[in-house]
Structure 1
């Protein structure tokens, strides 16, 4: 790492950002583009990291990244739509002259909270140790704690995903050209936007009826007729639905008959 020891340093900071939809970009604080491991890191002099807080204890490693909003790299509309939520980020330093190919890793993790203000943004980078903040043991619940189709639920999802075209949108209600296979089949499920301005995003479904699905929140961007979507069935996580609709009670991850804390408030004659 000779470039760190000379009288005149030639250090450039680089960011490699991989979105959950597979889009990967590279940015650098240098005044010209750099090619690192086959990826062009675009010059973004406004990108600056905060002090990197790292420890050998159990505290979560954190860092903030501040930068300018640009249409070519990170646009405000994409940040507000949630395209960058959960993206993986790697921050490293290198010699911008190319004389020393060694890279110095400075931090990596996933993007957490994002704030925008006056043409700029600040993104929180959560390190790997942030996972230690999560509960170790699950709390009991009358509802199933598994997600439909995951490795604990084990319901096959191949026949429970359907492609459809959007016919119209009225705020939270989306009308498609396919009829649901059963009553409220898509309730608590997901709608994945395949085409159009929302392509790559997904919306939570509150309920469905016939050819309409009601979203929990309006689409982030404008929707046009003919946009392609994928409808994924949902589950209300009750034992009755698990038995009647999915025949999957053997994998039910809940305690529907466990007395709740309301048992303490009961008394004879209540």
Structure 2
């Protein structure tokens, strides 16, 4: 490969299977079953690659356009954690190429008609904590394989249609399924239909209104606002405490915390006249 025939190519694959290819060459390239388009949908800074297990560090940038990476899709989170590969390739013979980066998109930001996305290398998961954490509160997620709670059969989730929405995060309902006050605080709201489908947010407040209505407030607005008649799913809130697991969910058998674990104060500050002294 010579410098006169050297080019770069990027492949990005969303979780829903959509694949896009881009190149800084002035003509389209084809290899690995992908067509790499010669437009400005995406470019990337030089990679900073570490030795050993250090995480590759770089950034991708590009213009927001309807036929490539749209602002609406970014707001909807459809590009979150998308797979990304980058090659150096001889455009005169695409069989001569080498993979220079493999990883995923991290945090995506947008401004002035452009987007910027952090690139995360394959070693990024090594930054995550591993092993069991010994803590008074439960380490499971409500309804997962460790919790084992059947959210549907247990009545711990409900579906409802959007009526009113304020500031992109406050939902008001005149008719609401029978549920105890503050039942959904700390839970999750997920959009099931419409352009905002698959977006979800953490529920901050669940307030019973005068007349029997309900107000569900999120901690922050969704990337795209659901429209009236779009369907939502609300999942009950769980604060991970043993008392909540026992009284609200009747699931203490699967509680994954250690409620009788002494506190740090108990361990570090000896009590006068006690066995800790």
TM-score (norm 1): 0.81
Structure 1: tracts of 5 or more residues without a match: none
Alignment check: 8 A CA contact 1:192 1:203 kept: yes
1:123 paired residue number: 117
Residue in structure 1 matched with residue 236 of structure 2 by the alignment: 233
Q: Is this contact kept in 2: 1:67–1:120, CA < 8 A?
A: yes
Q: CA offset at residue 12 of structure 1? A: 4.5
CA distance in 2, matches of 1:121, 1:188: 31
CA gap of 1:106–1:266, structure 2 versus 1, over 3 A, is same
Listed as ranges, the gaps of 5+ residues in structure 2 are: 209-213
Contact 1:111-1:125 at 8 Å conserved across structures: yes
Residue aligning to 2:11: 15
CA drift of 1:203 comes to 1.2
Q: Secondary structure at the match of 2:69?
A: coil
What secondary structure, in the 3-state scheme, does the structure 2 residue paired with 1:231 have?
strand
Deviations 1:155-193 (A, max 9, x none): 123434433210111333213454154443322222112
1:257 to 226, 249, 260: 260
Range with bigger deviation, 246-255 or 35-44: 35-44
Q: Tell me, in whole angstroms, the C-alpha distance in 2 between the residues paired with 1:23 and 1:234.
A: 32
Tell me: CA distance 1:9–1:102, structure 2 relative to 1, closer, same or farther (3 Å).
closer
Among residues 192, 197, 202, which one is paired with 2:190 in the alignment? 192
Matched position secondary structure for 1:44: coil
Going from structure 1 to structure 2, the CA distance change for 1:266 and 1:173 (only over 3 Å counts) comes to farther
Distance 1:167 1:85 in 2: 28
Aligned-residue offset at 1:42: 4.0
- Tell me, in whole angstroms, the C-alpha distance in 1 between the residues paired with 2:68 and 2:41: 12
User: Cα deviations across residues 102-123 of structure 1 (Å, max 9, x unaligned)?
Assistant: 6632222221223334433321
**Which piece of structure 1 moves more, 191-200 or 259-268?**
259-268
Q: Displacement, 1:261?
A: 1.9
1:214 to 2:217 alignment:
yes
Normalized against structure 2, the TM-score is what? 0.79
